[in-house]
Amino acid sequence: MERLKVNLCGIELDNPVIPASGTFGFGYEFAELYDINILGTFSFKGTTKDARFGNPTPRIAECTSGMINAVGLQNPGVDKVISEELPKLKAVFNKKVMANVSGFSVEDYAYTCEKLDKEEQVGWLEVNVSCPNVHGGGMSFGTNPESAAEVTRAVKAVTKKPVFIKLSPNVTDIVAIAKACEQAGADGISLINTLLGMRIDLKTKRPVIANKMGGFSGPAIFPVALRMVYQVASNVNIPVIGIGGVSSAEDVIEMMLAGATAVQVGAANLVNPFACKEIIENLPAAMDKYRIENLKDIIGGALNG
């Protein structure tokens, strides 16, 4: 449907709805449930240079209007993602996919991005400098403007495809970090990753999650995510992908009014595997309700209000 289309760094999406990394596997798992080509695109499971088993269990804790996870970037490593996962994805998905990359050093990020940049099916690289579940990596780069910029420069030096830097909300000034990434050559900003949270088991009187703390996601974080998207979109001149607590067509519209060109759906996929499909199907009616003809026309519509 033409009225749902948006352009993300030169690549046209049929709609702005993108399942977020870590909530949609490598796509083919969901293709058993519905035709995933309905999606704008999706961000596949966070990939690192080497294989990772992830954090010890338990890794998941429930909470009001959300969940906490500390999976710890479990993945088979970039070589197996390229040789095994992408071919399986190609059999069921005929669009460009977003490759989500994490690392434990600047060299790790550059190595993994350079490899994935060569893959024809990869349309964008989403560089995660914001994972709260891994000690000594991820978020340690995303909480400091200079470190985030260093990763950005290193990745841009070895890639040709658009690079989105995924930022952490667990900072004092997210605008400063986003601007540093833009100045270092980032093509776009993805935000937000999860907030840092925890639960304590009243029976054992110990943290529920083995990692003690983890990433808090779900509808409860939507207002925080919306505020940060608005702040960043007001201060950079590159596209923003809005993420955080999105669970409805109305949430997508609100994120786009705040300045998002596209919108990622995360925890909702874990509650309802058809969440993204239903959001896309509900968008035209929501647009009609709010007298919106084309989604691309509302991007940043609230910024000057």
Query: Mean per-residue pLDDT for 252-277?
Result: 97
pLDDT given for residue 72 in this prediction: 81
Least confident of 52-66, 114-128, 247-261: 52-66
pLDDT given for residue 140 in this prediction: 65
Which CATH number describes the domain made up of 2-298?
3.20.20.70
Beta bridge partners of residue 191, listed in sequence order: 242
Amino acid at the residue 247? S
Q: Using the predicted structure, report yes or no on whether residue 248 has a pLDDT greater than 90.
A: yes
pLDDT band at 305 (very low <50, low <70, confident <90, very high): low
pLDDT tens readout for residues 20-43: 999 999 999 999 999 999 999 999
Q: Using the predicted structure, report yes or no on whether residue 145 has a pLDDT greater than 50.
A: yes
Q: What is the pTM of this model?
A: 0.95
pLDDT given for residue 235 in this prediction: 98
The mean pLDDT value of the chain amounts to 94
Query: Mean per-residue pLDDT for 251-262?
Result: 98
The catalytically annotated residue of 113, 131, 181, 276 is 131
Is 181 known to be catalytic? Answer: no
Structure tokens given for 105: 């050093």
Non-local (6+) Cβ contacts of 39 within 8 A are: 14, 15, 17, 18, 19, 95, 276, 280
CA distance 138 to 92: 30
pLDDT tens readout for residues 68-120: 988 888 999 999 999 999 999 999 999 999 999 999 889 999 999 999 999 99
pLDDT given for residue 134 in this prediction: 44
Amino acid at the residue 68? I
* Residue (of 267, 300, 208, 283) closest to 13 by Cα position: 283
Sheet containing strand 66-69, edge to edge, reads 60-63, 66-69, 214-217, 195-197
pLDDT tens readout for residues 38-72: 999 999 999 999 999 888 889 999 998 999 988 88
pLDDT given for residue 139 in this prediction: 52
Could you tell me the residue ranges of all domains in the chain?
Answer: 2-298
